[in-house]
Amino acid sequence: MRYLLVGLGSIGKRHVRLLRTLDADARIAAWRRGDSGHEPAEGIDQVMLEEGSLDAWRPDAAVVATPAALHLPAALACARRGVPLFIEKPLADRLDGLDELAELCAGQRLVVMVGYCLRFHPAVAALTQAARAGRIGRVLSLRAEVGQYLPDWRPGQDYRTGVSARADLGGGAVLELSHELDYARWLAGEVRAVRAWTGSISNLHLGVEDVAEILLEFEGGAVGSIHLDMVERWPHRSCRVIGTDGTLEWNAGEQRVRVFTPAAGWQKLLEGPVDPDAMYLAELRHFLDCVRTGERPLIDLGEGRRVLEIALAAKQAAALNRGVAV
């Protein structure tokens, strides 16, 4: 197959490497806007600088891995040419223009997937499956947390100039760490209202929020509390789900998922290290399978848009200091 990579930052380079793992005969072109002075990335067969070059390359699928604020122009250019799309999370940094993309893709029945890779993490899958199987009864509340010190995210790069620290590129804790919003919704159901507090409170001197506390009200009656930060020196990710009959817990640092019920106490559902590439491979494999079969991806355009709507509602709720319906 012929692929197009738009954006060759750290996640773009990972996608190049994993595409070659999944498809030994892959031909991969990179579309870069502007200056071509960069050395071609490893695994790239061709570099193109103009949108018109897409017509000659005729990709079978495209991966859009630019900063969030630049996703839409690239996605629209591909969609106009009938190219199936994998768009990194978040889908965009605003809703403007998404209706046009949705209409283009629906009209051509294009496969579109948004890259919320934690849906392919074995621990998150085990957590969600246990909740949906009724292991803890009806879900009443959940607490999801993630934190990691921003200067450690991309070693060798000045964090102040990277996408995560720039509002104009869609940075900030709410959008950059929106994985938690996605899997909370996957686990507990649709969100109907949001409250939030966001702020830049560290010594990192960012122009975006580095901490966010978000409260979610789910349509089924459950409530959620989401903590997102780019300041914690010890990387941390966890989720606790409280139900009428027990508790589920995932701790990424301790590499385990466990369940508590009064009858059995704590029981392990999953334990042990996870290959860092495994969820990204599973994610891309799912996308490519959908391209081949025409089936709907697990996180399609509508799912990605819904997470973006919740993230933007959280930003609005923090700015207004009140709840916002979603």
pLDDT digits (tens, 9 = 90+) for 192-215: 999 999 999 999 999 999 999 999
* SS3 assignment, position 57: helix
pLDDT at 92: 98
Distance CA 211, CA 60 (A): 39
Peptide bond into 90 cis (omega under 30): yes
Which pLDDT does position 36 carry in this prediction? Answer: 47
CATH fold label, 2-110: Rossmann fold (3.40.50)
Q: What tokens appear for 197 in the block? A: 């507090």
Q: CATH assignment of 118-274+301-325, given 3.30.360.10, 2.70.98.10, 3.30.1360.120, 3.50.50.60?
A: 3.30.360.10
112 closest CA partner among 164, 168, 74: 74
Tell me the DSSP string of 145-204: EEE--GGGTSTTS-GGGSGGG-GGGT-SHHHHTTHHHHHHHHHH--EEEEEEEEE--SSS
Q: Where in the chain is the domain with CATH 3.30.360.10?
A: 118-274+301-325
For residue 229, which of 208, 248, 252 has the smallest C-alpha distance? 208
Residues 41 and 8: their CA atoms lie apart, in Å, by: 7
Start and end residues for every CATH 3.40.50.720 domain found in the chain: 2-110
Q: Quick check: 62 and 88 in contact, CB under 8 A?
A: no
The answer to whether 51 and 310 are in contact (CB under 8 A) is no
pLDDT given for residue 42 in this prediction: 83
- Conformational region of residue 46, where left means phi above 0, alpha means psi within -120 to 50, and beta covers everything else: beta
CB 284 within 8 A of CB 67: no
Identify whether the C-beta of residue 241 lies closer than 8 Å to the C-beta of residue 142: yes
Give me the long-range contacts of 46-51 (CB less than 8 A, separation at least 24): 51/77
List the alpha helices (DSSP H) in 40-135: 53-57, 71-79, 98-108, 122-132
Distance CA 271, CA 256 (A): 4
So what's the pLDDT on residue 17? 96
CA distance 230 to 115: 20
Q: CA 205 → CA 93, 122, 182, 202, 293, distances in Å? A: 21, 36, 28, 7, 47
Which portions of the chain are predicted below pLDDT 70? 34-40
Rg (CA), the chain: 20
Q: What is the pLDDT of residue 41?
A: 72
Question: Would strands 112-115 and 85-88 be described as parallel, antiparallel, or unpaired?
Answer: parallel
